[in-house]
Structure 1
């Protein structure tokens, strides 16, 4: 039973939301950050980069405190307001490719994460969990929701559809040409209906935001131990989430680039691959795979198709059958000598919104020796991995939608 509750969001006034909303600050170059903060005093980037005010790079606990201060200033200046009633927030994104994502921003329970009602498919790094936990404890809010996905539900879909017939509270288009809409749902009957429908769901899945959710769980445990009157209903027992139906989740592949052939000649490398794949040289024809266990490769000016040989497809788990795992276990580790996919500097990743032409340009430049293209992982595969308690290799999925920070804020 998934416990998904409404909350009183802190959010920008209607006239300033397009100025406040930002991408995750880590996605900006330093030049982009400075340009946006130079010309937009309302950007949420001013909150998460408080050192800008002092022309200084501030880190650690000092930064966390200043983030909190900048946030309070935005509230004091009336840039942020807080809703009076607990609400669900119906959110829709229409991206520049014409894809539409509609779902509900709400608070999800840390206990559901701990009891495997909310399931994950990626490993998290402990030191990153603890750093973000300390950050959350100081600032006291979530500003970017964790992306969760749930089985398609007609009752929830109908409520979402009906409210979207009304005028939205927000409607704004980003410089990426994605249009965002938000509706506030505070009707008690609709809230109760949605809540009950989620309670019927045995499992929902983390699509994006594994470290954010894990850090929220750590913080809840710490605050619970410090609170002698803990009841389980405190705001710190939840984290802000954007829940969308499985049918609307868009998963792109992450392609692989490797800087060298691990001391092998081109001919020796191809011979080693031949034991694993049926290989066809496609020349300069840009080739992208179209089905599971098919890969593309760009090497020394030529594209190749790689089809996994049938004697290599004895899979015992959902992880074994995953294309990113196959490439890792059959090629990257044993042949190219890459065992640490997170930290080895010889490997890089290019998400599937950049096609094989991007791979070709990077190899042709001499920066990399070889590139591999994969087919996107499906929602079914993602769920199977999570259900078996397994985790995917790093950079297995690039998932949409990508939300903006600062549109809704959950305080705890």
Structure 2
């Protein structure tokens, strides 16, 4: 390829809208039908993983009438007139703890002392709390004075009240929380099937890059993007495989991609994707676009430029049934590119059919006065003031600047245009984690 042809190829990349690029990606992933691997894990270790099976209740829950608190099992009809001034005295015929079952039958004028979670004995239809009673004696035996009327069913959890035998607990793709673990354990699931973490190859390109632990040299910088990408992969549920930094040589990059495709479920690179003379990933993508294959396997470029700021050179290809993401070398642009395309791929592999980041509405705290011909994704922190979820844009917004990355909680989506967005406007915000606190807060806000 001569220089003139190279220039035309590099500079004539058509920018596609973000939504279209995401749709192309998810369509290609569904079409590729890359098998999702499943593994078994101990229940207590399953938190944060995605469930790979449908789980159902193995019994009614509660499985028996269950006391909701410490007190006395009684017949509600016996205490209809009970009050602090005129307590009703009942003979105590048994006392049981949780896990025990009383053989006594509660008849009129009797009660059974029981603890929270114990089975309510036959004949009783209510439990009166301990604080509404007093110790007493009746004909020389133990008795209890009930100082408050009780309604039928009071403080008694009925069989099947929460779950019915065979009822759904959770389906494939569910993100397992500690609450899920409690429910699954209740029904005897000591192990659960989860989607295996997809292995994601990560490497950077650029002759200027040094290992993170190296001393700085004139004109060179440390490869911090690889570690950042690995952390983003791990946070999204994947297993990063670090290949380090590679020079801007197509043969070495191709060799690394060969190894990565053979051993991993996807590849993510950072750097070398723009229009410079040494942008090796742009050359790699061009070769796929021209031939429609890679190493004799069918391959296609899904997009080679996205109408967004930062990170417009972001590119993606499907090689066989595995995706390759060529992300920007600028830290902020790399971060955004991963969130918009890399994380949806991982979530798709983990059985999350929605895959895309959760979007919520927030009030903008400060002006974003810079317009853009493309959509902009502005880093922000989230705060709650006066019952409103608010987005506070972070400074240092240029794609190569890193100072605001540690504080970034979300991305403000600013439509293309000359005006940006004004303080007080409602804006769309993409959450970088499915934070239930944020989701619940947003759900109750105007």
Same fold (TM over 0.5): no
Structure number with the higher strand fraction is 2
TM-score normalised by length of structure 2? 0.24
The structure with the largest alpha-carbon Rg is: 2
Structure number with the higher helix fraction is 1
Structure scoring higher RCO (CA < 8 A, sep ≥ 6) equals 1
TM-score normalised by length of structure 1? 0.25
